[in-house]
């Protein structure tokens, strides 16, 4: 399978014509305790041929943090079972449009698989257009996947702490303004409220049209980042609650030509623990 994708974002029309040419992944994600959960949503209806990319399951089993990136050998086995061969064209989507699809897109790129795109509008747009849905899961043929980890696309707690002392990268947080500013409790128990000092705030749902789920045009995306105080010419680390919607920001930045953005994998699930990391509250610092 050597089909070349037209870009990092594909339309529903394009996918409808190429369903048999791509590996299709449903990366729908829900927060803990949601009913139905992501697996149940997938089982209730997905695009024909889509395999379920289980963000909670494709994770480091040794970490107490949610869905931390697995070791390359572990991801190799998962990718093989999903039928993702080296170089295969992969299209990912989620139920909302651009919420968790970016996490699957980023994970594949992190492990060196660059022939991957996001479906514009996701399942929301596909359903709205009356396109076919199935409850039948596919049975993909086992494939050979060779990982090639790109460490520049991931940041850890130590890197973010070091950046506070010697600021080089801008940290951009994808959580809601209420969570960023510390005005509401975090949905995960035991975490402090607030944000990483000096970070910017751009909620992930500001990147797409709420009516259609489709990603905003490039100029509108650029305006969103600039209005949030982000200098698009400087290094960027994205963050969120647990590393999922941070990847949506990274995807939007890739559409603007920034394919070098790092995602803080632990995000607030790690930073907000204990008392040994500094926390700020209130709006982002003035630019």
Catalytic sites, residue numbers: 240
Kindly write down the DSSP assignment for every residue of the chain, as one continuous string. --PPPSSSEE-HHHHHH-TTTSEEEE-----TT-SS-HHHHHHH-B-TTPEE--TTTSS-TT-SSTTPPPPHHHHHHHHHHTT--TT--EEEE-SSSSSSHHHHHHHHHHTT---EEEETTHHHHHHHTT---B-PPP-PPP--------GGGEE-HHHHHHHHHS--SEEEE-S-HHHHTTSS--SSTT---SB-TT-EE--GGGGB-TTT-PBPPHHHHHHHHHHTT--TTS-EEEE-SSSSHHHHHHHHHHHTT-TTPEEESSHHHHHTSSSSS--B-SSPPP-
In a 10 Å sphere around its CB, with 0-12 CB exposed, 13-18 middle and 19+ buried, how is residue 145 labelled? buried
Does residue 17 sit in helix, strand or coil?
helix
Q: Residue written as tokens 């299209």?
A: 91
Distances (CA, A) of 243 to 87, 95, 146, 252: 25, 18, 24, 15
């Amino acid at each position: 399978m050597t089909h070349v994708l037209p870009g990092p974002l594909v339309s529903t029309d394009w996918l409808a014509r190429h369903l048999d040419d791509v590996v299709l992944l449903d990366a729908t994600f829900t927060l803990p305790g949601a009913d139905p959960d992501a697996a149940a949503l997938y089982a209730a209806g997905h695009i024909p041929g889509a395999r379920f990319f289980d963000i909670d399951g494709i994770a480091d089993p040794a970490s107490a943090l949610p869905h931390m990136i697995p070791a390359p050998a572990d991801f190799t086995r998962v990718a093989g079972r999903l039928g993702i061969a080296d170089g295969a064209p992969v299209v990912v989507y989620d139920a909302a449009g651009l919420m968790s699809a970016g996490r699957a897109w980023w994970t594949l790129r992190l492990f060196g698989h660059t022939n991957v795109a996001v479906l514009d509008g996701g399942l929301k747009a596909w359903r709205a257009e009356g396109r076919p849905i199935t409850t039948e899961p596919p049975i993909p043929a086992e494939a050979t996947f060779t990982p090639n980890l790109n460490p520049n696309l991931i940041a850890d707690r130590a890197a973010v702490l070091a950046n506070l002392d010697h600021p080089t990268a801008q940290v951009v947080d994808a959580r809601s303004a209420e969570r960023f500013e510390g005005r509401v409790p975090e949905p995960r128990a035991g975490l402090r409220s607030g944000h990483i000092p000096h970070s910017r705030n751009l909620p992930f749902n500001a990147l797409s049209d709420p009516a259609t789920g489709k990603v905003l045009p490039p100029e509108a995306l650029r305006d969103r980042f600039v209005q949030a105080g982000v200098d698009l010419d400087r290094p960027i680390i994205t963050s969120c609650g647990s590393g999922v919607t941070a990847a949506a920001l990274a995807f939007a930045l890739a559409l603007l030509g920034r394919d070098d953005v790092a995602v803080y994998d632990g995000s607030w699930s790690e930073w907000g623990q204990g008392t040994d990391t500094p926390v700020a509250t209130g709006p982002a610092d003035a630019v």
